[in-house]
Amino acid sequence: MGKIVVKNIQSQNSTTAFKIPSSDGTAGQFLETDGAGNLSWGGPSDFKSADGSSLTYTLPNTDGTAGQFLQSNSTGGDTKWASMSSPTATPDGTKQGWNFIDKFVADDSGSVNEVNLTVPTSMTTDGSNIIAYRMDFYSFSGEDNNSNASPRISCYLQDGSTVACQTDAYSNWHHWNSQNGHQASSTSYSYTAGSGYRPNTTYFGAGTNYTTNSGKKTFGSTGYLGGGLSGTFFWWNARGNPQGWMNAHGPATLTNWTNYNGMTYGYVTPTDTTTPYHTTNNRTMSWKVQLVQGGSIRNGTVILSGYFKNGVL
Amino acid sequence: MSKVIVNQLQNSTGGSPTLTWMTADGTSGQTIKSSDGSGTLAFTGDAVPIKTQDGNETLNFPNTISADSLAFKTDGSGNLSTFSATNPFSVAGSAPKETGLRLCDRVNISEETPAAQFTLTVPTAYTTDLSQILGFEIRTHGLRSAAQTTWNWGYQLTDQSGTILGVPGAERIAVIYFGGQSGQYGTTQKMPSTSDKIRPNVYPVYSNTNNPTTSIFDNTTALTDWTPAPQLGYNKTIIYNAHTNKTYLSESHIKYNSSLDQSQMELAYGQLANCAGHIGGIKVEDTGGSNLVDGLVELYAHFKNGINV
């Protein structure tokens, strides 16, 4: 093989002598100049932005630890490794806990007749991946002024329109307020659309339309006197025998809410021994919250969060 | 210094291309490329395509970066952009760093082989100094034992290796309960003899001989006897992680007998005297020794300010 051993190569048409590297580069490297005729092997540790000129990126000198993400270290293109795991995931990222799903916020600009809270398809389309739900109510209230302004909670498939259940559910609830003391009852709920679990059938009005000491205004108005339901509904999303529990506080019906302010505790579960609660299609992946009398929801916030199986999110 | 002056170079192997050498230097950082596909070499400042490991896709990095600590994400077509990776449970810009809730461990018992105890611990990646943890929060959904009669649940407190803490001492528990078939409500106190565990329930949790001994979470059929199913529906327990004199508050929703209306909520406040050692974990159990077969249990922690988690 012909070979010339030399340190510099210069074109006949040039006065610039290029000093060639004295050793080989590593695979993938290329020849680059320092502007003074010295050629060296360039590594891919630095590279340009997409437009070829604005930024020169440099990668960290060493790899990060497992699970770390590449982040900017400044605005100049240098980068670093950093941990970015969710606060509700373990440091190694293998287990994921409590996660926000959806929320509803009522405001003074209008009102709605129902709240729909749904698991995004980007999270999952398989309801068995959701072990449990949590639904938090903050001062949830409607326009009416009686017990039928109480919220009812219904289970749906992810499309938000197909009921998720095929059997009735049964509920037992207790309520305490200063006027009436303790009240309790049990009732059943049809699985057909339009029904749904409600935490209290008699003394729990989430609606009120007060405007004075015996009344309440909406969130944005002055003289807000409170009222509305605040509490949490939990749901264990088993296929055949799920169960729900609710603990909430708020005014009962009637105008003098100071005497009827109380606490409701309720429990709901299917009791059918032949038919599983959820249909064969899927499990609950969407929730509908309405007022029992179908009126307008005027105020408050409802937040849906969930507990997914590891590795789903 | 040795030098050869030549316009072109060619490998002596037959058929090799003739490479025309550059006549001028490039600027610092420029690389040599074939400029025309006919062997003419030239310096270029063109971006070297950043390829995926298989060489099939090109990744395009953003032309500008607006801030420090932004993470990179892809649009799925090789175009990267940045986004803010702030932790929603930390106060941005706080010094010392203020952090909120952090998940330590979790177990979905419904997916595990049934066992009498399940242990959850604080990852060492967070800390090995457990005095940095101010408090814990345990969240439990759908806990069910394989017991064929009533049972009691409890959380044993452990160190970070899962070894039970404490010398047996006094536990004082004040419980308020609401609900029940006749609407019972009231208070009671308990003073068990050991202080290494939390046992906040007043009434034993209901079960019977029809209670399935394996998970029912994915059952495609209904239970022939629904009554043993909804046992400890939900529990949240918060614990103050003092070294010796720990306190806790526990909210439970349980079914204590077979009828639908025999469920109740229990609030328990407890003091664990002389349970020495900061908590590094918990064991959840049926205190009667039966296997747990269903339920999700999660352990969260709240850290002192300034701790980087």
pLDDT tens-place string over residues B113-151? 999 999 999 999 899 999 999 999 999 999 999 999 999
How far is residue A15's CA from residue A126's CA, in Å, rounded to a whole number? 71
- CB proximity A66 to B under 8 Å: no
A2 interaction partners in chain B (CB closer than 8 Å): 12
- CB proximity B144 to A under 8 Å: no
How far is residue B106's CA from residue B260's CA, in Å, rounded to a whole number? 30
Against a cut of 0.90, is the pTM above it? Answer: no
How far is residue B102's CA from residue B300's CA, in Å, rounded to a whole number? 5
Residues 6+ apart with CB under 8 A from A146: A205, A207, A253, A254, A293
The reported pLDDT for the residue numbered A216 is 46
The reported pLDDT for the residue numbered A106 is 79
Higher pLDDT, B119 or A162: B119
Chain B residue at shortest CA distance from A279: B220
Indicate yes or no: CB of A71 within 8 angstroms of CB of B103: no
A vs B, Cβ pairs < 8 A, gives 308
Indicate yes or no: CB of B229 within 8 angstroms of CB of A176: no
CA dihedral A32, A34, A40, A45 (to 10 degrees): -70
Residues 6+ apart with CB under 8 A from B237: B137, B138, B140, B155, B198, B200, B248, B249, B250, B251
pLDDT band at A206 (very low <50, low <70, confident <90, very high): very low
Chain B residue at shortest CA distance from A281: B220
B19 has pLDDT over 50: yes
Instruction: Extract the tokens encoding B146.
Output: 């394989």
Interface predicted TM-score of the whole assembly (ipTM), two decimals: 0.77
**Averaged pLDDT of chain B:** 86
Residue with tokens 């004040």: B174
Q: Give me the phi and psi of B141, to 5 degrees please.
A: -125, 135
Higher pLDDT, B302 or B182: B302
- CB proximity A82 to B under 8 Å: yes
Q: Give me the mean pLDDT over the B24-47 stretch.
A: 82
Q: Are B11 and B19 in contact (CB under 8 A)?
A: no
Helical residues (DSSP H) of B204-305, grouped into ranges: none
The residue length of chain B stands at 309
Q: In angstroms, what separates the C-alpha of A181 from chain B's closest C-alpha?
A: 11
Residue with tokens 């809410």: A257
- CB proximity A186 to B under 8 Å: yes
Question: Which amino acid type is present at position A32?
Answer: E
